[in-house]
Amino acid sequence: MASLREIKNRIGSTKKTKQITKAMEMVSASKLNRAQTNAQAYEPYTRKIREVVSGIASGNSGATHPMLEERPVKKTAYIMIFSDQGLAGGYNANLLRSFMDKVAARHNSSDEYGVIVLGKIGRDLLQRRGIPVMDEITGLPDQPDFHDIKNITRLAVNMFGEEEIDELYIWYNHFISAIQQEVSETKLLPLTDIGEGAEAAQSYEYEPSEEAILEQLLPQYAESLIFGALLDAKASEFGARMTAMSAASDNADDIIDDLTLSYNRARQAAVTQEISEIVGGAAALE
């Protein structure tokens, strides 16, 4: 049985741990609010550029672009958004597990796919499992802007344009609530569903031509989808970390209660033992 001093030291260390997890919970809650604001503020831009592009792609002008056309798939690329830091519950593990299941069902060889990974945790997880990593970004800020990922988004779009890859997906944790995130797979290229919802699009006049507009807008649209997914994933990350730290704080309370009960019982037993020894000594002197 642990001594009174040992139990007291464990109570003290657990209280200090709780202080850390509680502080991390509060910080994550603050970051979550900002991340949600950023994601919501970006939605109108994505919605408007999709409206314009879908209006052209579904029009009667016959304007086409390689990013709209399917071709035989020889190699697939995946953009995966993980976190740079841990202590986020199942945020990274759930994403990796779903991805590994999909890869096993979709591909026969590692030559058929590659991953562009965002986040140090994800990079390390993928490398340990022998997943081919085509490029990586680590150390992204908590509140990223497009400049932070523009090189890797343009790399992915250019790889498709140069036929180094034949399709591109993005994998990330979609934010539903602070306590719920859902692994999401979205096909980015080719943009085969760009015309969906085009009936609600407004009518525009284009100068110099619709094909020239597509040439400029389609890469920007694909890049905007990637950045929008990153903002969504950041909100999910902070929600997952806030929930994990809240659970850790609750567990610390339970441990402290159990240790305090053990401490009181041990102290009571020690007092009882001392009284018994005193009574026994007095009786021996009679």
At 194, which CATH number?
A: 3.40.1380.10
Say if 1 falls within a structural domain. Answer: no
d(CA 219, CA 184): 22
Residue 101: band (very low, low, confident or very high) from pLDDT cuts 50, 70, 90 = very high
- pLDDT for the residue 201: 47
Residue 192: band (very low, low, confident or very high) from pLDDT cuts 50, 70, 90 = confident
Minimum mean pLDDT range among 49-53, 56-60, 144-148: 56-60
Q: Contact, 245 vs 21, CB < 8 A?
A: yes
Comparing 191 with 235, the larger pLDDT belongs to 235
Instruction: Using the structure block, give the residue that is written with the tokens 């590692």.
Output: 110
d(CA 47, CA 108): 37
Q: Is the pLDDT of residue 202 over 60?
A: no
Say if 276 falls within a structural domain. Answer: no
Residue 172: band (very low, low, confident or very high) from pLDDT cuts 50, 70, 90 = very high
Q: What is the strand order of the sheet 180-189 is part of?
A: 133-137, 113-118, 76-81, 167-177, 180-189
Q: Could you list the beta-strand ranges (E) of the chain.
A: 76-81, 113-118, 133-137, 167-177, 180-189
Average of per-residue pLDDT values in the chain: 87
- pLDDT for the residue 161: 86
How confident is the model over 73-84, as pLDDT tens digits?
999 999 999 999
How confident is the model over 3-20, as pLDDT tens digits?
888 888 999 999 999 999
- pLDDT for the residue 65: 75
Q: Is the pLDDT of residue 194 over 60?
A: yes
Give the DSSP letter string of 95-143: HHHHHHHHHHHH-SSGGGEEEEEESHHHHHHHHHTTPPEEEEE----SS
How confident is the model over 109-144, as pLDDT tens digits?
989 999 999 999 999 999 999 999 999 999 999 999
How many domains in the chain?
A: 1
Peptide bond preceding 208: is omega within 30 degrees of 0, i.e. cis? yes
Query: DSSP 3-state assignment of 168?
Result: strand
Q: Is the pLDDT of residue 284 over 90?
A: no
Both tokens of 99, joined, read: 């991805």
Q: Contact, 67 vs 217, CB < 8 A?
A: no
Say if 70 falls within a structural domain. Answer: yes
Residue 286: band (very low, low, confident or very high) from pLDDT cuts 50, 70, 90 = low
Q: Is 259 exposed, middle or buried (0-12, 13-18, 19+ CB in 10 A)?
A: buried
In Å, how far are 1, 17, 88, 224, 238 from 249, measured between CA atoms? 26, 8, 14, 38, 16
The range of the structural domain enclosing residue 98 comes to 25-243
Mean pLDDT for 257-281 is 82
Say if 256 falls within a structural domain. Answer: no
Say if 49 falls within a structural domain. Answer: yes
Peptide bond preceding 132: is omega within 30 degrees of 0, i.e. cis? no
Say if 252 falls within a structural domain. Answer: no
Q: Is the pLDDT of residue 275 over 90?
A: no
pTM passes above 0.95: no
pLDDT cut 90: percent of the chain above it: 55
Q: What are residue 191's phi and psi, to 5 degrees?
A: -85, 70
Mean pLDDT for 161-184 is 93
Both tokens of 41, joined, read: 């503020």
Say if 279 falls within a structural domain. Answer: no
Say if 185 falls within a structural domain. Answer: yes
